[in-house]
Structure 1
Amino acid sequence: MTPLDRIRSRLPRGARADAALAAAVFVVVAVGAEGQRLNRGGEALPSLVASWLLITAVCGALMFRRRHPVAVGWFTVLATGAYYLLSSVDGPLVIVPVVALYALAAQGRTGAATAMAAAMVVGVGAGALAGHSDVNGTAVFMLTGWLVAVVALGGVRHGRVAYAEEEARLRATEERLRIARELHDVIGHNISMINVQASAALHRLRKDPAQAEEALGAIKTGSKEALRELRATLGVLRRVDDEAPTAPVPGLARLDELVASAEPAGLTVRTVSTGTERPLPAPVDLAAYRIVQESLTNAARHGGASLVTIRLGYGTGELTLTVEDDGRGAADRPATAGGSGITGMTERARVLGGELTAGPRQNGGFTVRARLPYGTGGERTERGER
């Protein structure tokens, strides 16, 4: 925590802050009014009492500015006008309605703040026309400029706060989508493989107990892997410090494990690599791994495939990824295939500045093609993945 943050954390908030503001303004106004009164000489007792009552009431009204902002604003404007009419001392009480106007504009109540500022200008202008010795055209002009500036500054403050809140909401939405996509990919693949193996075990239980036992072993392995990945993902979400993750980060370096987990589901997976292999940026590496994972899940669960070919093309500026299977095409796949898997894969590619297409092959089967640039498109995602 920086020294400025420590100072901010010690400042009063809420009602205590309003009370502190009212007290500080009262001290400033009292010192200013009393100083002018000493310079000008004595003042009649009724006028003196009325002046101090108005000063106390106007400054004290700031304590209620959060609960009743518009009412407090109008009260300070009208009571301040009454003070300057009754008192023979031109004290600095005008700073109170100025503070109230800024607070209103900062809350987005620009209309109310503008109306109060106009009322103040009209009142001071009327005093100038009436020949008040302390008010002239220059004072009206200067007051108008100050009030316009105060309302404008309050409006700018409101705009900045609203922009920051909207940006925070957008970041929270993006983070929720990222977490949902990650959990879908982490859990979906292993659960789908468990579902396939469970169906195979039930089918073979009486006819071929040995194969059923093998399928049950694959279910045990898959469920264990699902739990491990789920715990790793939840550990990242719960982490509040900057410690490095202890579990290996999913990436193409673990592609062999992914292929091995698909084989018990009856998939034969071939991997073809072209170009010079190179270390990939973390977002690209993770996106490629998740796209392959989801494609294998769809091939095993929805496509009825037996052969899957994974093609990796390491280019100078991007990774091209193609996953082809010999199962059913999109039109022949069951309705349960219409989940969020392809949507999630497409979002991963788009966030990196790339693209993804998925559809049936001409000779049967299904193809997923992705283009994942290495460049700056992934920098923002890398920060988000962390």
Structure 2
Amino acid sequence: MRTHLATLWRAPRRPSVQDAALAALLLVGTWAGTGAPAVSGGWIAGLPWLPEPVARWVLVGLCVAAVAVRRRWPIPALAVATLAVVARMALAVGPVPADLAVPIVLYTIAVTRRRPVSLAVLGATLAVAAAWSVYVSLDGKPNGWLYDGPLGGGQERPPGATGPPPEPAHDDDVPMRHGEVPAALGPTAWGGIPVLGSLVVVAWAVGWGVRSRRAYLGELRARARDLERERDQRAALAAAAERARLTRDLHDVVAHGLAVIVMQAQGGAAAFATRPSDTLTALETIVATGRASLADIRHVLSASGQVDDSARPTPGLAQLPSLVDQVRRAGTPVELRVDGSPPPLPAGVDVSSYRIVQEALTNTMKHAGAGARAQVLVSYRDDELRLEASDDGTGTSSGATSTGNGLRGMRERVSLLGGEVVAGPGPDGGYVVRARIPLTPGETA
């Protein structure tokens, strides 16, 4: 039941139903304005088998049918309507509502067709109207529309007169009296340039205005869809960037913590037989490093909103001494040097700088080899921050970091900040990581 009601509710919105309703309205208006056709003794010249009133209503039916199919076949419908209106004017009849089929169909063409096509159709219609005006003015016959009203020519036919007009009963030089009919009435002139031409021009202008407005609204809707799509893309890129940042942070934290734990476990196992106290110290360092790494992971996840850990401070260059002490306890001597006075740094620069040094020291512990020493230099300048982490080891740090996430993560971090990272073997051996991060006046708080 609801489906049928919904179908009935949507039916008036269908274009075919609207066209049929408009055609029916024109037919009813024509019938009400002229009355039912009365059979008369008049005949159309050349068609003796068709009574004149029937012919008039056949032409009205063609106009109504053109309106009913104006969306499906607009140009053929306009041609049929134009020919039907011209034929009606040739029968010396006045305008009726059905004759509005010509401007209505032309309006449809202006709305649905491209401008060159609609202009060509408008020009052809105006040419027909102009040709009809010239023909009527040169046929030498008076206007056949005998209607004494606002649109008529002031002539009258006798009441009840049908068929061809009678011949006059006086000489041509004698003026006609009121109520008399001229000898030969010609086609009507209401369908020429002054009336029909003006209507079709107005109909085309209105149709083209509607088409332009629809195109403008379509562009607005397309632009709104593009903006919405762009917003979704930006949100997706932001989410991807956040996932990449989270991955880099987790990699740095886990890699550093595991490197320290592995080194302490190896040292503790080697000293277990001869120096149990050193083994105990190594185990304590493993426990402390594990807890610190878990806390750091918890803090990284809290930054993405997955874990609430707002009590732990954000890691930054201020925590470098603690990081260096942790690496020293793991068995790798580290020298930290700071040049310049540290200014207030943006959070992104501060965290990224800390992670770069952390990753560089992790690679030293993992790949520099036994007995390697590390040096960390932090240089604050007016317009940039420089970081340098080097070691004197003999391991394969270059190959290890270039194929993993460590060096790639450093470069991604610094690239987002507008800086650059250079990593490779040092001039005197070992491995060196250098990073340069610009500091513009607007970035320092």
Common fold: TM-score over 0.5: yes
Cα deviations by residue, 1:341-372 (Å, 9 ceiling, x for unpaired): 11111111111100011111122111000001
* Structure 2 residue 278 is matched with structure 1 residue 324: no
How far 1:82 moved relative to its partner?
4.0
Match of 2:11 in 1: 57
From 292, 301, 315, give the equivalent of 2:381. Answer: 315
Q: Tell me how far apart the structure 2 counterparts of residues 196 and 84 of structure 1 sit (CA, whole Å).
A: 90
Gaps of at least 5 residues in structure 2 are 28-68, 83-98, 105-202
TM-score by length of 2: 0.57
Match of 2:214 in 1: 147
* Structure 2 residue 445 is matched with structure 1 residue 371: no
TM-score by length of 1: 0.65
Gaps of at least 5 residues in structure 1 are 1-22, 27-52, 60-75, 90-118
Q: What SS does the corresponding residue of 1:238 show, helix, strand or coil?
A: coil
Q: Tell me how far apart the structure 2 counterparts of residues 159 and 178 of structure 1 sit (CA, whole Å).
A: 28
From 414, 421, 435, give the equivalent of 1:356. Answer: 421
**Bigger fraction of residues in helix:** 1
Summarize the Cα distance change of 1:336–1:361 in structure 2 as closer, same or farther, 3 Å threshold: closer
Q: How does 1:161-240 map to 2 (within 5 A)?
A: 161-238=228-305
From 346, 350, 353, give the equivalent of 1:288. Answer: 353
**Contact 2:402 2:408 survives alignment (8 Å):** no
Match of 1:347 in 2: 412
Q: Which has the larger radius of gyration?
A: 2
4+ long deviations beyond 3 Å: 53-56, 76-89, 119-129, 332-338, 376-379
Opposite residue 370 of structure 1, the aligned amino acid is A
Number of aligned residues: 283
Aligned CA-pair RMSD:
3.3
**Contact 1:251 1:285 survives alignment (8 Å):** yes
Q: Tell me how far apart the structure 2 counterparts of residues 201 and 144 of structure 1 sit (CA, whole Å).
A: 84
Cα deviations by residue, 1:13-62 (Å, 9 ceiling, x for unpaired): xxxxxxxxxx9xx9xxxxxxxxxxxxxxxxxxxxxxxxxx9774254xxx
**Contact 1:324 1:368 survives alignment (8 Å):** yes
Match of 1:300 in 2: 365
**Contact 1:197 1:219 survives alignment (8 Å):** yes
How far 1:200 moved relative to its partner?
1.9
Q: Tell me how far apart the structure 2 counterparts of residues 320 and 160 of structure 1 sit (CA, whole Å).
A: 40
Q: Tell me how far apart the structure 1 counterparts of residues 272 and 372 of structure 2 sit (CA, whole Å).
A: 22
Q: What SS does the corresponding residue of 2:344 show, helix, strand or coil?
A: coil
Match of 1:251 in 2: 316
Q: What SS does the corresponding residue of 2:304 show, helix, strand or coil?
A: helix
Opposite residue 298 of structure 1, the aligned amino acid is N
Opposite residue 207 of structure 2, the aligned amino acid is V
How far 1:217 moved relative to its partner?
1.2
Segment drifting more, 278-287 vs 368-377 = 368-377
How far 1:234 moved relative to its partner?
2.2
Q: Tell me how far apart the structure 2 counterparts of residues 376 and 188 of structure 1 sit (CA, whole Å).
A: 34
**Contact 1:271 1:310 survives alignment (8 Å):** yes
Match of 2:141 in 1: none
Q: Tell me how far apart the structure 1 counterparts of residues 207 and 391 of structure 2 sit (CA, whole Å).
A: 81
